[in-house]
Amino acid sequence: MKWIVEILIVTVIFVTLIWGYNMKIKDQQLGYKKQIPTLNYVGAINGKYLFHMAFTRKDNILSGTLVNTFEKENRIYGTIDHEGTFLLTEYEEDEKAGVLEGKIIPGGEIKGTWSTPDGEKWFPFYLVKKSE
Give the tens place of pLDDT for each residue, 62-111. 999 999 888 899 999 999 999 999 999 999 999 999 999 999 998 889 99
Half-sphere exposure of 92 (CA within 13 A, CB side): 12
106 with 91: CB under 8 angstroms? no
Is residue 39 within 8 Å of residue 56, measured between CB atoms? yes
Residue 15 has pLDDT above 60, yes or no: no
Q: Chain-wide mean pLDDT for the chain?
A: 83
Q: Which pLDDT band, with edges at 50, 70 and 90, does 26 fall under?
A: low
Cβ neighbours for 67, distance < 8 A, ≥ 6 positions apart: 51, 52, 53, 73, 74
Res 30 pLDDT > 60: no
**Residue 10 binned pLDDT confidence (cut-offs 50, 70, 90):** low
The pTM (predicted TM-score) of the whole model is: 0.71
pLDDT at residue 45 greater than cutoff 80: yes
4-8, 51-55, 75-79, 81-85: least confident range: 4-8
Distance CA 61, CA 64 (A): 10
pLDDT at 52 over 70: yes
Closest CA to 74 of 57, 53, 43: 53
